[in-house]
Amino acid sequence: MAVQLIGSWASRFALRPRIALNMKSVNYEYREENLWAKSELLLKSNPVYKKVPVLIHDDKPMCESNIIVSYIDEIWSDGPSLFPSDPHDRAMARFWVHYIDDKVCMNHLRSCLMILKAIGEVLACTKLLEEAFGKCSKGKPFFNGESIGYLDLALGSYLGWIKAVELVGGVKLLDGETPVLAAWAERFCANEAVKDVMPDAQKLAQLGREKLGWQAAK
Protein backbone atom coordinates (compact mmCIF):
# COMPACT_ATOMS: atom_id res chain seq x y z
CA MET A 1 0.00 0.00 0.00
CA ALA A 2 1.59 3.30 -1.14
CA VAL A 3 1.66 5.93 1.62
CA GLN A 4 2.75 9.55 1.29
CA LEU A 5 2.61 12.35 3.83
CA ILE A 6 2.81 15.98 2.77
CA GLY A 7 4.02 18.11 5.65
CA SER A 8 6.31 20.88 6.84
CA TRP A 9 9.13 20.48 9.34
CA ALA A 10 7.77 23.36 11.44
CA SER A 11 4.10 22.35 11.37
CA ARG A 12 2.84 21.05 14.69
CA PHE A 13 -0.14 19.53 12.88
CA ALA A 14 2.02 17.66 10.36
CA LEU A 15 4.08 16.32 13.25
CA ARG A 16 1.10 14.37 14.62
CA PRO A 17 0.65 11.94 11.71
CA ARG A 18 4.43 11.58 11.32
CA ILE A 19 4.71 10.29 14.87
CA ALA A 20 1.56 8.18 14.48
CA LEU A 21 2.99 6.48 11.39
CA ASN A 22 6.25 5.89 13.25
CA MET A 23 4.34 4.42 16.18
CA LYS A 24 2.65 1.99 13.79
CA SER A 25 5.94 1.20 11.98
CA VAL A 26 4.41 2.21 8.63
CA ASN A 27 6.75 2.73 5.69
CA TYR A 28 5.85 6.02 4.07
CA GLU A 29 7.27 8.72 1.82
CA TYR A 30 7.54 12.10 3.49
CA ARG A 31 7.25 15.13 1.19
CA GLU A 32 8.46 18.42 2.66
CA GLU A 33 6.25 21.33 1.61
CA ASN A 34 7.27 24.97 1.21
CA LEU A 35 4.31 26.76 2.80
CA TRP A 36 5.31 30.05 1.15
CA ALA A 37 5.31 28.47 -2.34
CA LYS A 38 2.81 25.64 -2.22
CA SER A 39 3.18 22.73 -4.61
CA GLU A 40 0.64 21.56 -7.16
CA LEU A 41 0.43 18.25 -5.30
CA LEU A 42 -0.67 19.99 -2.10
CA LEU A 43 -3.15 22.25 -3.89
CA LYS A 44 -4.60 19.27 -5.74
CA SER A 45 -4.70 17.05 -2.66
CA ASN A 46 -6.23 19.65 -0.33
CA PRO A 47 -8.09 22.13 -2.56
CA VAL A 48 -10.36 23.29 0.28
CA TYR A 49 -7.86 24.45 2.93
CA LYS A 50 -4.60 24.20 0.95
CA LYS A 51 -2.77 23.26 4.16
CA VAL A 52 -0.58 20.48 5.50
CA PRO A 53 -0.72 17.75 6.54
CA VAL A 54 -2.17 15.59 3.79
CA LEU A 55 -1.96 11.81 3.92
CA ILE A 56 -2.16 10.06 0.55
CA HIS A 57 -2.97 6.37 0.90
CA ASP A 58 -3.47 4.30 -2.25
CA ASP A 59 -3.83 7.56 -4.22
CA LYS A 60 -6.62 8.79 -1.95
CA PRO A 61 -5.83 12.02 -0.07
CA MET A 62 -7.18 13.01 3.33
CA CYS A 63 -6.64 16.15 5.36
CA GLU A 64 -6.73 17.50 8.93
CA SER A 65 -4.26 16.11 11.43
CA ASN A 66 -6.69 14.62 13.96
CA ILE A 67 -8.73 12.94 11.23
CA ILE A 68 -5.53 11.51 9.73
CA VAL A 69 -4.36 10.19 13.11
CA SER A 70 -7.71 8.45 13.64
CA TYR A 71 -7.48 6.94 10.16
CA ILE A 72 -3.95 5.68 10.80
CA ASP A 73 -5.10 4.02 14.00
CA GLU A 74 -7.96 2.26 12.21
CA ILE A 75 -6.06 1.13 9.11
CA TRP A 76 -2.88 -0.06 10.84
CA SER A 77 -4.59 -1.68 13.80
CA ASP A 78 -1.77 -4.18 14.45
CA GLY A 79 0.44 -1.54 16.04
CA PRO A 80 -0.06 0.05 19.47
CA SER A 81 -3.50 1.62 19.78
CA LEU A 82 -3.54 5.42 19.75
CA PHE A 83 -6.82 5.52 21.65
CA PRO A 84 -7.84 4.15 25.05
CA SER A 85 -9.94 0.98 24.95
CA ASP A 86 -12.61 2.35 27.29
CA PRO A 87 -15.31 4.45 25.50
CA HIS A 88 -15.37 7.09 28.25
CA ASP A 89 -11.60 7.38 28.20
CA ARG A 90 -11.68 7.79 24.39
CA ALA A 91 -14.28 10.54 24.73
CA MET A 92 -12.16 12.33 27.33
CA ALA A 93 -9.08 12.08 25.11
CA ARG A 94 -11.04 13.76 22.29
CA PHE A 95 -12.30 16.42 24.72
CA TRP A 96 -8.76 17.34 25.84
CA VAL A 97 -7.47 17.38 22.26
CA HIS A 98 -10.21 19.86 21.40
CA TYR A 99 -9.22 21.93 24.45
CA ILE A 100 -5.55 21.91 23.46
CA ASP A 101 -6.22 23.03 19.91
CA ASP A 102 -8.61 25.70 21.17
CA LYS A 103 -6.45 27.11 23.99
CA VAL A 104 -2.80 26.19 23.41
CA CYS A 105 -2.85 27.67 19.94
CA MET A 106 -0.27 29.63 17.96
CA ASN A 107 -2.16 32.88 18.54
CA HIS A 108 -1.58 32.48 22.27
CA LEU A 109 2.02 31.36 21.83
CA ARG A 110 2.71 34.27 19.50
CA SER A 111 1.16 36.79 21.85
CA CYS A 112 3.32 35.44 24.69
CA LEU A 113 6.23 37.15 23.01
CA MET A 114 4.48 40.50 22.87
CA ILE A 115 1.95 40.69 25.72
CA LEU A 116 2.94 39.45 29.16
CA LYS A 117 -0.69 38.96 30.22
CA ALA A 118 -1.05 36.21 27.62
CA ILE A 119 1.60 34.15 29.42
CA GLY A 120 -0.78 33.64 32.32
CA GLU A 121 -3.40 32.35 29.91
CA VAL A 122 -1.09 29.63 28.59
CA LEU A 123 0.13 28.79 32.09
CA ALA A 124 -3.48 28.29 33.19
CA CYS A 125 -3.87 25.75 30.36
CA THR A 126 -0.78 23.82 31.39
CA LYS A 127 -1.98 23.63 35.00
CA LEU A 128 -5.29 22.14 33.87
CA LEU A 129 -3.44 19.67 31.65
CA GLU A 130 -1.24 18.72 34.60
CA GLU A 131 -4.40 17.63 36.44
CA ALA A 132 -5.78 15.94 33.33
CA PHE A 133 -2.60 13.89 32.98
CA GLY A 134 -3.15 12.28 36.36
CA LYS A 135 -6.69 11.28 35.45
CA CYS A 136 -6.00 10.11 31.89
CA SER A 137 -2.69 8.32 32.45
CA LYS A 138 -3.81 6.47 35.59
CA GLY A 139 -0.24 6.44 36.86
CA LYS A 140 1.36 5.37 33.58
CA PRO A 141 3.98 7.24 31.49
CA PHE A 142 1.68 8.82 28.89
CA PHE A 143 -1.81 10.25 28.65
CA ASN A 144 -2.67 7.13 26.65
CA GLY A 145 -1.13 4.79 29.23
CA GLU A 146 1.97 2.77 28.45
CA SER A 147 2.49 4.24 24.96
CA ILE A 148 1.94 7.50 23.09
CA GLY A 149 -1.63 8.04 21.95
CA TYR A 150 -4.05 10.51 20.40
CA LEU A 151 -3.92 13.02 23.26
CA ASP A 152 -0.14 12.73 23.63
CA LEU A 153 0.25 13.50 19.94
CA ALA A 154 -1.96 16.58 20.16
CA LEU A 155 -0.12 18.18 23.06
CA GLY A 156 3.30 16.84 22.09
CA SER A 157 3.08 18.49 18.69
CA TYR A 158 3.26 21.88 20.43
CA LEU A 159 6.39 21.14 22.47
CA GLY A 160 8.88 22.42 19.88
CA TRP A 161 7.02 25.71 19.59
CA ILE A 162 6.60 25.99 23.36
CA LYS A 163 10.38 25.62 23.74
CA ALA A 164 10.91 28.22 21.01
CA VAL A 165 8.66 30.66 22.86
CA GLU A 166 10.66 30.01 26.02
CA LEU A 167 13.91 30.76 24.18
CA VAL A 168 12.74 34.02 22.63
CA GLY A 169 10.46 35.25 25.38
CA GLY A 170 12.58 34.36 28.39
CA VAL A 171 9.67 32.56 30.05
CA LYS A 172 9.06 29.01 31.27
CA LEU A 173 5.75 27.46 30.27
CA LEU A 174 6.60 23.99 31.58
CA ASP A 175 8.46 24.27 34.86
CA GLY A 176 8.29 23.55 38.58
CA GLU A 177 4.61 24.43 38.73
CA THR A 178 3.79 21.58 36.36
CA PRO A 179 6.43 18.94 37.22
CA VAL A 180 4.36 15.97 36.02
CA LEU A 181 3.72 17.59 32.65
CA ALA A 182 7.37 18.61 32.35
CA ALA A 183 8.47 15.00 33.00
CA TRP A 184 5.92 13.76 30.44
CA ALA A 185 7.34 16.22 27.87
CA GLU A 186 10.84 14.81 28.35
CA ARG A 187 9.58 11.23 27.91
CA PHE A 188 7.61 12.22 24.83
CA CYS A 189 10.53 13.95 23.11
CA ALA A 190 12.90 11.08 23.93
CA ASN A 191 10.59 8.44 22.45
CA GLU A 192 11.97 6.56 19.43
CA ALA A 193 8.94 7.52 17.31
CA VAL A 194 9.39 11.21 18.14
CA LYS A 195 13.02 12.22 18.60
CA ASP A 196 14.04 12.17 14.92
CA VAL A 197 11.05 14.22 13.73
CA MET A 198 10.64 16.76 16.55
CA PRO A 199 11.64 20.17 15.13
CA ASP A 200 14.60 21.96 16.68
CA ALA A 201 13.50 24.75 19.03
CA GLN A 202 16.33 27.07 17.94
CA LYS A 203 15.26 26.79 14.30
CA LEU A 204 11.63 27.37 15.24
CA ALA A 205 12.61 30.44 17.23
CA GLN A 206 14.48 31.80 14.21
CA LEU A 207 11.47 31.07 12.00
CA GLY A 208 9.27 32.92 14.48
CA ARG A 209 11.53 35.97 14.33
CA GLU A 210 11.82 35.98 10.53
CA LYS A 211 8.32 34.98 9.41
CA LEU A 212 6.03 35.76 12.35
CA GLY A 213 7.61 38.94 13.68
CA TRP A 214 8.32 37.52 17.11
CA GLN A 215 9.72 39.94 19.64
CA ALA A 216 10.80 39.17 23.19
CA ALA A 217 8.34 40.25 25.86
CA LYS A 218 9.44 43.30 27.85
Q: Residue 77 to residues 13, 89, 129, 178: CA-CA distances in angstroms?
A: 22, 18, 28, 33
Name the strand (E) or helix (H) holding 207: helix 201-211
Spell out the per-residue pLDDT of the chain, length 218, in tens. Answer: 699 999 999 999 999 999 999 999 999 999 999 999 999 999 999 999 999 999 999 999 999 999 999 999 999 999 999 999 999 999 999 999 999 998 877 665 666 655 455 566 677 888 899 999 999 999 999 999 999 999 999 999 999 988 988 888 787 888 888 999 999 999 999 999 999 999 999 999 999 888 777 776 55
Give the Cα separation of 161 and 151 in Å (integer): 17
- pTM of the predicted model over 0.75: yes
Name the strand (E) or helix (H) holding 210: helix 201-211
